[in-house]
Structure 1
Amino acid sequence: MIHAVPAAARIAEAAFAREFPEARLWNLLDDRLLDDAREAEGLTPALRRRMLHLIGHAVEAGAHGILLTCSSYGEVVDTARTLWKVPVLKSDESMFHAALTGPHDGLAVVASTPPAVPAAIAQLDDLAKRLRPGRPARITAVLSEAAAVAATPQATARHLADALHARGADGVQAVLLAQYSLAPAGPALSELLGLPVLDGAGAAARELRATLLSPAPAQVAP
């Protein structure tokens, strides 16, 4: 797993312990990735090469699967997939895929920092066009900056639930957490709303487990 902030490592590790306990985890942290991208006002060629170097380092050292926990570098994954055969996942791609291929049409994307909202919506829109072209999803974006400074997961959940209610999202059937930092509030938020709540780390762990532990196809004799 490749991280831009230490907190993402703790949250992803908890998700893998729950969803993919067989995995042996290896955390690579470059805690300048986000700051340098902010200073450059986006991903420069040098920053893309830096992330590709980290991915390549993991592949060459024997990683069987890779998860980038920073959504800002998700576009680099598209290039990585052309260079290596090892599964490389974007931070929230598995969550969005699960949401769009499931039974729900009304989805709410919740966040506590403004930049997370447009990034999530853009990915959802792009995936929706490919995964369900004849069945558009109703996507509601909800921002609660108060959730960013909440002292406990329960308080975070309450702020997010209040923001959802204030938005009037009556048709929401499932909630997607747009940041790894919100994952600890997921169970409490689900209980408050009576709705399924998906988080990126948990969905990624489930996808990697299914991919890496699936039995090899049977060989057919000639």
Structure 2
Amino acid sequence: MNDHPPLIAMIHAVPAGARIAQDAFAREFPEARLWNLLDDRLLDDARAVGGLDAALRRRMLRLIGHAAEGGAQGVLLTCSSYGEVVDAARTLWKIPVLKSDESMFHAALTGPYDRLAVAASTPPAVPAALAQLDELSARLRPGRPARIAAVLSEAAATAATTQQAARHLADALHATEADDIQAVLLAQYSLAPVGPALSDLLGLPVLDGAGAAARDLRTTLLPQVLAPAQVAS
């Protein structure tokens, strides 16, 4: 392997996202060097203006540019709220830039599943996940759309333990009419620690975004370490 392992920059909106992403890379891509960039006003400022305005989009692009110009060979946004900025970033930089849950959604839609559930503990995560799934589904499996249910359990966000959070999410899933779900997708990085317990309770695969992104970047970057990023001409 190259003496200089790939440098992955991760842009976080909350410290919890940083910890979960680092744990995922330690499991799935231990060869990577990690660079954590935290802007803990990203979510509050987006809430204050009711979404992403032009100034916030430019701010995220500056953060991605800072990572690329600093030598990152891959960039992962761990906040789903800013995922739409990635499409613009990909026209500016040649390195892989991933949305928080893109790899998880891709793996689910190209896998053996036709009936999926998206689980969340905060309301904004649901429409963001469904919009991305709909877009990817139309592109990856035209004519064979996946059936997708969404469940929300705000109680899971304040649960004292991962086991309790898993139970809240399992109860929410059982309360839906989608009783033939084949896999569950966790719509937030903050829910990743709940995955194993939720899988045990449901007897189903539970996918999380951080682990899928780490596996995706490892597959892309390990064959050869990319040259430093350059702005696309």
Q: Distance in 1 between matches of 2:196 and 2:136?
A: 26
Shift of 1:159: 0.7
Q: What corresponds to 2:6 in structure 1?
A: none
Q: What corresponds to 2:91 in structure 1?
A: 82
Q: What corresponds to 1:146 in structure 2?
A: 155
Q: What corresponds to 1:219 in structure 2?
A: none
Q: What corresponds to 2:23 in structure 1?
A: 14
Shift of 1:169: 2.3
Q: What corresponds to 2:124 in structure 1?
A: 115
Higher percent of residues as helix = 1
Q: Distance in 1 between matches of 2:49 and 2:116?
A: 33
Query: Are 2:112 and 1:103 equivalent residues in the alignment?
Result: yes
Q: Distance in 2 between matches of 1:29 and 1:10?
A: 11
Offset from partner CA, 1:72-126 (integer Å, 9 cap, x none): 1111100000000010000000000000000000100000111111111111011
Query: Are 2:66 and 1:60 equivalent residues in the alignment?
Result: no
2:68 maps to a residue whose letter is V
Equivalent residue in structure 2 for 1:169, among 167, 178, 188: 178
Identity %: 82
2:200 maps to a residue whose letter is E
Shift of 1:26: 0.6
Q: Distance in 1 between matches of 2:90 and 2:61?
A: 10
Shift of 1:215: 5.2
Q: Distance in 2 between matches of 1:186 and 1:19?
A: 15
Query: Are 2:45 and 1:31 equivalent residues in the alignment?
Result: no
Shift of 1:42: 1.4
| Pair 117,23 (structure 1): closer, same or farther in 2 beyond 3 Å | same
2:174 maps to a residue whose letter is H
Q: Distance in 2 between matches of 1:153 and 1:214?
A: 36
Q: Distance in 2 between matches of 1:109 and 1:145?
A: 14
Q: Distance in 1 between matches of 2:124 and 2:168?
A: 18
Q: What corresponds to 1:47 in structure 2?
A: 56
Aligned-pair RMSD on alpha carbons? Answer: 1.0
Q: Distance in 2 between matches of 1:7 and 1:59?
A: 23
* TM-score, normalised with respect to structure 1: 0.95
Aligned residue pairs, count: 216
* TM-score, normalised with respect to structure 2: 0.91
Q: What corresponds to 2:196 in structure 1?
A: 187
Q: Distance in 1 between matches of 2:123 and 2:45?
A: 19
Q: What corresponds to 1:200 in structure 2?
A: 209
Shift of 1:134: 1.5
Q: 3-state DSSP class of the match of 1:28?
A: strand
2:142 maps to a residue whose letter is P
Shift of 1:214: 2.6
Unaligned runs of 5+ in 2: 1-9, 226-233
Shift of 1:40: 1.0
Q: Distance in 2 between matches of 1:53 and 1:136?
A: 36
1:49 maps to a residue whose letter is R
Q: Distance in 1 between matches of 2:167 and 2:51?
A: 33
Q: Distance in 2 between matches of 1:80 and 1:114?
A: 26
